[in-house]
Amino acid sequence: MHSKNEGVLLIIGGNEDKAGDCTILKKFVELAGERKARIAILTTATELPEEVGREYQTIFNQLGAEQVDIIHIADRLQASEKQIGHSFAEYTGIFFTGGDQLRLTSILGGSTVNQEIVAGFKRGAVIAGTSAGASVMSQIMIVGGDSSETPKKSSISLAQGMGLLECVVIDQHFAQRGRINRLLAIVAQNPNVLGIGIDEDTALLVKGNKCSVIGSQTVTIVDGRAILHSNISESSRFEALAITNVKLHILPYGFGFDLCTRIPYEKDR
Amino acid sequence: MHSKNEGVLLIIGGNEDKAGDCTILKKFVELAGERKARIAILTTATELPEEVGREYQTIFNQLGAEQVDIIHIADRLQASEKQIGHSFAEYTGIFFTGGDQLRLTSILGGSTVNQEIVAGFKRGAVIAGTSAGASVMSQIMIVGGDSSETPKKSSISLAQGMGLLECVVIDQHFAQRGRINRLLAIVAQNPNVLGIGIDEDTALLVKGNKCSVIGSQTVTIVDGRAILHSNISESSRFEALAITNVKLHILPYGFGFDLCTRIPYEKDR
């Protein structure tokens, strides 16, 4: 079991469609209970919380959810207060906007709000996040790093994420920002970690060990378990890495992936 | 046997060091015979033939080669003339500058010059090319294609290359321009083709089936032979591709690769 419990994660690679079919956001509302959904939008990651929060609120309302709260938590004091004007217990869907993943973890990490989110997930709520909000889902989180470079140690910058998903590392805006090399370098550090790169307007839906891809682009899976050579321990920070025998899967809509067996499969569309 | 004969190919990912150690260009001069080298610089790919040609001429002279000719062939008439003022038979090293690979093939393809280059290669000359000059080496050649995108058919644009290397496709400026997805799409079309992505200031030295990496960055090998799923035949031009079970190797200086067995190995440095 990679995800710790019965909740569902909807991990979005950023820049999801908000004007057309809204495939991904519609799926979020559906999973949260449609008309009966009780949705919280967490705007902590962004520096435009009012604007971004209201945009998602409008969309979720249009997609049929009646109760959609925007929750602005801008500092640790707010995150740690017992009363933030909302009880998280009631939410069936929690949505993290994009922005800066380090804002999310540095403000929410270890707080009451963080605990309530994890508790909500354990109760079966759907937790969705886009862009920075996607990165925080895993135990280890990519903070930054040069993407258009040969893999090397200097392209790795990690922090602890929210830990809703174990043994994976998530990258977003993946193909669009050419981020495979930083993901390869992270996987080479410990091939037990599965690399998941999610393209824009694409999401990975995770329930237990089963994942499925939705949206218009693809999810790249970097499986390093079979790596034979890796010089990452002895290489210097700026030296080019050697990594051999990485297994790669490119999965569009209609494909699933088992986090436990690490095997992709085609689903009934 | 992938390469057809006894010549050596030095396939450079572009932007090779010209001011410092000149590792790659020095290797070219060494392979061509050092002081006894007879080098031809073919400037057909570039639109700045005088400038680019003279820059390489100066460097090759500084690196110890005495006879370095710049050969400007700007159209098919020149390429097909029996006499272009030079007999290719004497050259021990032929260097293709960067520029546009379609200029190279559309001007040289099927010409006398082309035949003389292949003949030179068969006699044992070293054929080097950087950037566009690298792309033309293989039988199928990448002409263009969007690189910062999810793999899809529309990201593939191919033409026939000079064919000095069979069953591979070469991409250059690889990590720097985030080109893995277009290479994956090409390999998915026919997994018998081995994808070789060469970073800037990096080169693959090929002799028979044996390759070695030199330079400061890495060579990415995309081996699709084990691909299980691929929807490339039924997908539409702009649909995201599914490709599973691709094997990937990232090889820096000190690593070798066997084109026949498709196995990477560490060399004595």
| Contact (CB<8Å) A229/B255 | yes
Nearest to A103 by CA among A124, A78, A66: A78
Q: pLDDT at residue B224 above 80?
A: yes
| pLDDT of A231 | 84
What is the distance between the terminal CA atoms of chain B, rounded to a whole angstrom? 25
The mean pLDDT of chain B is 90
| Contact (CB<8Å) B149/A175 | yes
In chain A, % of residues over pLDDT 70: 94
Which of B150, B180, B217 is nearest residue A218 as measured by Cβ atoms? B150
Highest mean pLDDT of the ranges A28-32, B74-78, B112-116: A28-32
**Domain B8-266 CATH class label:** alpha beta
Q: Tell me the pTM.
A: 0.85
What are the pLDDT digits (tens) for B183-206? 998 998 889 899 999 999 999 999
- B177 contact A CB<8A: yes
Set of chain B residues whose Cβ sits within 8 Å of the Cβ of A266: 229, 242
- Residue A167 to chain B, least CA–CA distance (Å): 20
Residue in A135, A155, A173, A212 annotated catalytic:
A173
| pLDDT of B148 | 59
- A154 contact B CB<8A: no
- Residue B11 to chain A, least CA–CA distance (Å): 17
Q: How confident is the model at residue A139 (pLDDT cuts 50, 70, 90)?
A: confident
Q: pLDDT at residue A40 above 50?
A: yes
Name the residue of chain A whose CA is nearest to B148's CA. Answer: A176
Q: How far apart are CA A33 and CA A93, in angstroms?
A: 8
Q: pLDDT at residue B82 above 60?
A: no
| pLDDT of B1 | 38
Q: How confident is the model at residue A5 (pLDDT cuts 50, 70, 90)?
A: low
| pLDDT of A82 | 57
| pLDDT of B2 | 44
HEC string for A33-97: CHHHCEEEEECCCCCCHHHHHHHHHHHHHHCCCCEEEEECCCCHHHHHCCCCCCCHHHCCEEEEC
Q: pLDDT at residue A70 above 70?
A: yes
Which of B175, B241, B242 is nearest residue A181 as measured by Cβ atoms? B175
Suggest the residue from B250, B261, B263 to mutate for an interface test with chain A (most A CBs closer than 10 A): B250
What are the pLDDT digits (tens) for A80-99? 765 566 678 889 999 999 99
Q: How confident is the model at residue A232 (pLDDT cuts 50, 70, 90)?
A: confident
A131 part of the active site: yes
A166 part of the active site: no
Long-range contacts of A33-36 (CB under 8 A, 24+ apart): A33/A65, A33/A92, A33/A93, A34/A64, A34/A65, A35/A64, A35/A65, A35/A66, A36/A66, A36/A92
- Residue A255 to chain B, least CA–CA distance (Å): 8
Q: How far apart are CA B43 and CA B75, in angstroms?
A: 12
| Contact (CB<8Å) A251/B241 | no
Look up residue B96 and give its two tokens: 């293709």
| Contact (CB<8Å) B247/A242 | no
Mean pLDDT of A113-123: 90
| pLDDT of B78 | 86
Q: How confident is the model at residue B139 (pLDDT cuts 50, 70, 90)?
A: confident
Highest mean pLDDT of the ranges A105-114, B13-22, B113-122, B137-146: B13-22
| pLDDT of B84 | 61
- DSSP 3-state of B105: helix
Set of chain B residues whose Cβ sits within 8 Å of the Cβ of A250: 150-151, 181, 184, 240-244, 246
Look up residue B105 and give its two tokens: 């093939």
Pairwise pLDDT comparison (A38 vs B240), residue with the higher score: A38
Name the residue of chain A whose CA is nearest to B255's CA. Answer: A242
Q: How confident is the model at residue B147 (pLDDT cuts 50, 70, 90)?
A: low
Q: pLDDT at residue B128 above 90?
A: yes
